[in-house]
Structure 1
Amino acid sequence: MEKAINSVLISGAANGIGAACVEKFIEQGCRYIIALDRDEASLKAMQLRYADGDIIFIAIAADLTGQAYFSKLASALEPLTQLEALVLSHGVADENEINERDTFMRVMDVNVNSCQSIIAQCEAKLDKGSAVLFMSSILGKMGNHRNTAYCSSKHAQLGMMKGLAMDWARHGIRVNAILPCYVDTPLLRKELQKQADMVGSTLDQVMRKAKKRIPMRSYVQSSDVADSAYFLCSQQARMITAQSLIIDGGSSCGG
């Protein structure tokens, strides 16, 4: 039986894919979880849900674009000899026009710069066998209307992933990315609601239409992404690094 991952830090942990990753890692035997998110209420609810005698669940509510959380993160990392997995699952997907600089810079700050900050804070605790995982997007490979900021940020995450993978390969630290598409999360429903409002339709109608564009005729679930995230962080994937795994039901191949 494969040795369980004992420690993980997950950002964006309170909802959607991040929350599914927390559940998956705990289900697989992980017992030291550091959860980062700006949603303090959801983090507290999660902390209560996992209040088990053998689980150490450290919730850090913070704006990850700042530095105020650094001391709390340092304290959470201090007892660890090694941080075995780091899953970067936070982000924003604000739409923009290219002249909307404030939006562009905010998306880049949240989706790119904060990842660099978190990784830098964790670097000393990463060692042979550790894995870093970026939760990128299919828009790390493609473009989309009114998404120059988001597309740029997700392309940038893949560049950071590849560079780190080469820097740390000699240390036995692996770095990969997952590129999901059409994941049935509150974020997707929010974006599809905007489309529904624009055309005078309902969210349900727009979701049914969007599903028809997916060759497998099903939305990706957060749990699907979490399953792959755990695999890429585990020793079953010990020779996989600098790779981007697309999870989209075949959407990027056509339909």
Structure 2
Amino acid sequence: MTMTSLKGRHALVTGGGRGIGRAIAGCLVKAGATVTIVGRSPATLELAIVQGDAHAAAVADITDREAVQAAVQDAVARYGPVDLLIANAGAAASAPFMKTGPDMFRQMLDVNLLGVTNTAHAVLGSMTEKGFGRIVAVASTAGLKGYPYVSAYCAAKHAVVGFVRALALETARNGVTVNAVCPGFTDTDLVSESLARIMEKTDRTREEALAELVKHNPQGRLINPSEVAEAVLWLCSEGARSVTGQAIAVAGGEI
């Protein structure tokens, strides 16, 4: 982490107040970047700033394109154009397909896909003008394979990976790289909520529920958010300038 210097770079991290997003924001701060985080909870964002994992924050719903544009404009006014965009914010919903209606598909696409495209649209113009930019979408192994009972989530994350691959080709000659990192089950609040649902619906213990999740990972464990952050840090570095259009699994060999 300390070997990669991002001094002078302005990074914007959506969903940066907790979980993987906060780990990424803190990692980029330690590497010398100026970091703006975006989220919906002012208290969560402020705590990240107070604890040194970000420099500034903007409150916005990433599904609202105008709100995202306003948040980016505020960040640019404060620290200059965004050099590094980490489109991390997302959500997961689970249900058998026959109980998954259009509203759930729409919700998953709005949060997981449009949340990425809205933020990319807000920063890409200045990146192209500058001749430098890094866009990293935090997708999921659910964007590379299927899982039961999360068809809407899998569809949305597959869409994110497809978007990354397409945009990477459009920007390849402009000094902008576009990639995705695809974590497996990661030790975050989101996974804790999943464990609670499994326990409630199946009467399993927490240990049994956890074993059900980590069985997909050949290493037999949850991914640490810092491991995802390190992958993002590398993609933001000068050394990754020829890496674009990739979907990199951080999943202990699951993919």
- Return closer, same or farther for 1:232/1:47 CA change in 2, 3 Å cut-off: same
Partner of residue 184, structure 2: 181
Partner of residue 111, structure 2: 110
Aligned residues between the structures: 247
Partner of residue 50, structure 2: 48
- Return closer, same or farther for 1:189/1:79 CA change in 2, 3 Å cut-off: closer
- Provide the rounded CA distance (Å) in 2 between the counterparts of 1:29 and 1:196: 42
Partner of residue 89, structure 1: 88
Secondary structure of 1:188's aligned partner: helix
Moved more, 118-127 or 107-116: 118-127
Q: CA deviation at 1:49?
A: 2.0
Q: Which runs of 5+ in 1 are unaligned?
A: none
- Return closer, same or farther for 1:148/1:3 CA change in 2, 3 Å cut-off: same
1:35 to 37, 52, 74: 37
Compute the RMSD of aligned alpha carbons.
1.9
Partner of residue 63, structure 2: 65
In the alignment, is residue 78 of structure 1 matched against residue 64 of structure 2? no
- Provide the rounded CA distance (Å) in 1 between the counterparts of 2:149 and 2:117: 25
- Provide the rounded CA distance (Å) in 2 between the counterparts of 1:95 and 1:199: 15
- Provide the rounded CA distance (Å) in 2 between the counterparts of 1:208 and 1:145: 16
Secondary structure of 1:179's aligned partner: strand
- Return closer, same or farther for 1:72/1:216 CA change in 2, 3 Å cut-off: closer
Secondary structure of 2:196's aligned partner: helix
Q: Which runs of 5+ in 2 are unaligned?
A: none
Secondary structure of 1:10's aligned partner: strand
Secondary structure of 1:111's aligned partner: helix
Q: CA deviation at 1:241?
A: 0.6
The normalised TM-score by structure 2 is 0.90
Partner of residue 6, structure 2: 4
What does 1:83-232 align with in structure 2 at a 5 Å threshold? 83-96=82-95, 97=97, 99-126=100-127, 127-232=130-235
- Provide the rounded CA distance (Å) in 2 between the counterparts of 1:159 and 1:212: 27
- Return closer, same or farther for 1:29/1:100 CA change in 2, 3 Å cut-off: same
- Return closer, same or farther for 1:36/1:81 CA change in 2, 3 Å cut-off: closer
CA deviations over 1:162-221 (Å, ceiling 9, x no partner): 111000011010001101102111111211221122221122332145435532233210
- Provide the rounded CA distance (Å) in 1 between the counterparts of 2:46 and 2:15: 14
- Return closer, same or farther for 1:209/1:33 CA change in 2, 3 Å cut-off: same
- Provide the rounded CA distance (Å) in 2 between the counterparts of 1:107 and 1:213: 23
- Return closer, same or farther for 1:212/1:104 CA change in 2, 3 Å cut-off: closer
Asked whether the equivalents of residues 5 and 31 of structure 2 are also in contact (C-alpha less than 8 Å), the reply is no
- Return closer, same or farther for 1:59/1:80 CA change in 2, 3 Å cut-off: closer
The normalised TM-score by structure 1 is 0.90
